[in-house]
Amino acid sequence: MNDLKTIRGMPDLYGENIEAISMVEKICLKTFKSFNYQEFRTPVLENKSLFDRSVGESSDIMQKEVYEFKDRKDELLCLRPEGTAGLVRALITNGLDNDEIKKFYYLGPMFRYERPQKGRKRQFFQAGVELIGDESSDADIEIILIANTILKKLNIKSKLQLNYLGDQESLEKYNEYLKEYLSGISDLPKYVMKNPIRALDSKDEGIKNKMSKAKSIKDFLNENQIEEFNKTKYKLDELEIDYSVNSRLVRGLDYYNGLVFEFLSDDLGAQNAILGGGRYDGLIKGLGGRDLPATGFALGIDRLADIIELLSIERDLFIGCVDKKSRTYAQALGYKIRKNNNSLIVENYLGNANVGKQLKKADSQGFKFAIIVGQDELKSKTLKLKNLREDKPDLELKEKDFLEHFEC
Ligand code: HAM
């Protein structure tokens, strides 16, 4: 039955998968908010031309990976492959591209038609930040601090790699050099001819070999740019954040200049990039907005979810029952408890299993406490609180005391 199949690379998420994803999202949100970033949500559909002009027509993403289609009015749209271009488009559309420094975060699904494998999906989730309007290396440092905080909170071991791409002029000079340098190779793919810097992340063995002896971007930086990069490295040293410089790191999207970076993990096999970003000072102007500097990153929520150790969820109270009458009472009791303290996780059991099976279920789901409401409890309005984690005698409590017990 074809219509019941999931689309390749777009799995349904449930059970432990979604628990891990939610945990990553929760830590991201908490961290973004602690740095005072504001949420921004843009649509998953945009005009395809937006990404051609930002991610770059010659990039792998736009050449091979974008989900594009014409709508009923023949407009060429695509599912967003990343979040930066949409956010920049939204800044311009909504007149938010003014001088004030802005700090935004976003979270949501992205789509790339890549070959699915461990850590690589066709619908995946990103969380990211964009810091608009500050050209200083302090802005770059701030977003690296956010990234580092999230990875530390999730207990993820990773390595930070940095590179510095200079500005449009140095990138153009480097591209000219690479064009000349690669001209000896016959049958150069179109994307390399169009944008020779793409040769740095080419998977073609011939190009890879040739590129291993090519000059790197750092030979094309001027003194100011070298100084800027040194400043960033110095600040990272001061903050005791480890990094290494990878002068071949150019990232797969065309909008970058200045500092670019990636965090890599050893636990993911080939898809080892868990987070990537950098500066994109020309993008807002390039898309028709004001000339504003910007920097940001996005992390792969699914990739992080694949490598975190899932902490077992602590659930609070399981309320069992023995028949219809006790179930109605139990439901009202659960409602009152949650009303008094909405941070508690309280299950009202709705099935017909015997008391033993109900307690087993409560235990296996990690509940700390359980009560079973039966005829005696209904009559006496006294509840026996079982501690499922510690070997302690049951606590007998009147309903009022029971409610107080769970108030804080
Ligand atoms: P990106 O490096 O293309 O950057 O993607 C960021 C992260 O998304 C990657 O490090 C990876 O963890 C995750 N990711 C990418 N593709 C997949 C996939 N097929 N399956 C699972 N995870 C994936 C950007 O998207 C830029 N917009 C980042 C940025 C923000 N730069 C400046 N601001």
Gyration radius (Cα) of the chain, Å: 27
One-letter amino acid at 206 equals: G
Q: How close is the Cα of 173 to the center of ligand 1, in Å? A: 27
* Nearest to 274, CA basis, from 34, 37, 28, 30: 28
β-bridge partners, 294: 132
Is the Cβ atom of 121 under 6 angstroms away from ligand 1? yes
Cα of 245 to ligand 1 centre, how many Å? 20
For domain 315-405, the CATH architecture is 3-Layer(aba) Sandwich (3.40)
- Count CB atoms within 10 A of the CB of residue 201: 16
- 62 ligand 1 Cβ < 6 A: no
Evaluate whether 254 touches 165 at the Cβ level (below 8 Å). Answer: no
The residue whose CA has the least distance to atom 21 of ligand 1 is 120
Would you say 97 and 113 are in contact if contact means Cβ atoms under 8 Å apart?
Answer: no
Cβ pair 270, 165 in contact under 8 A:
no
CATH domain 15-166+221-307 topology? BirA Bifunctional Protein; domain 2 (3.30.930)
Q: Whose CA is nearest to atom 23 of ligand 1?
A: 300
What is the helix (H) or strand (E) element at residue 234, kind and residue range?
Answer: helix 223-238
| Helix residue spans in 277-395 (DSSP H) | 283-286, 301-307, 324-340, 355-364, 375-380
Query: Which one of 42, 59, 113, 124 would you pick to mutate in the ligand 1 pocket, going by the greatest count of ligand atoms within 8 A of its CB?
Result: 124
Please give the C-alpha separations between residue 270 and each of 118, 264, 274, 398, in angstroms, as whole numbers: 8, 10, 11, 59
Distance between Cα 297 and ligand 1 center (Å) = 8
Beta carbon of 327 within 6 Å of any ligand 1 atom: no
Beta-bridged to residue 255, according to DSSP, are: none
Indicate the domain borders of the chain.
Answer: 15-166+221-307, 315-405
Ligand 1: centre distance to CA 185 (Å):
31
CA nearest neighbour of 150 among 300, 17, 314: 300
Per-residue pLDDT of the chain (408 residues; tens, 9 = 90+): 688 999 999 999 999 899 999 999 999 999 999 999 999 999 999 999 999 999 999 888 999 999 999 999 999 999 999 999 999 999 999 999 999 999 999 999 999 999 999 999 999 999 999 999 999 999 999 999 999 999 999 999 999 999 999 999 999 999 999 999 988 777 888 888 888 998 888 878 888 888 989 999 999 999 999 999 999 999 999 999 999 999 999 998 999 999 999 999 988 888 899 999 999 999 999 999 999 999 999 999 999 999 998 777 789 999 999 999 999 999 999 999 999 999 999 999 999 999 999 999 999 999 999 999 999 999 998 999 999 999 999 999 999 999 999 986
Ligand 1: centre distance to CA 313 (Å): 29
Q: Label residue 175 left, alpha or beta by phi (over 0 means left) and psi (-120 to 50 means alpha).
A: alpha
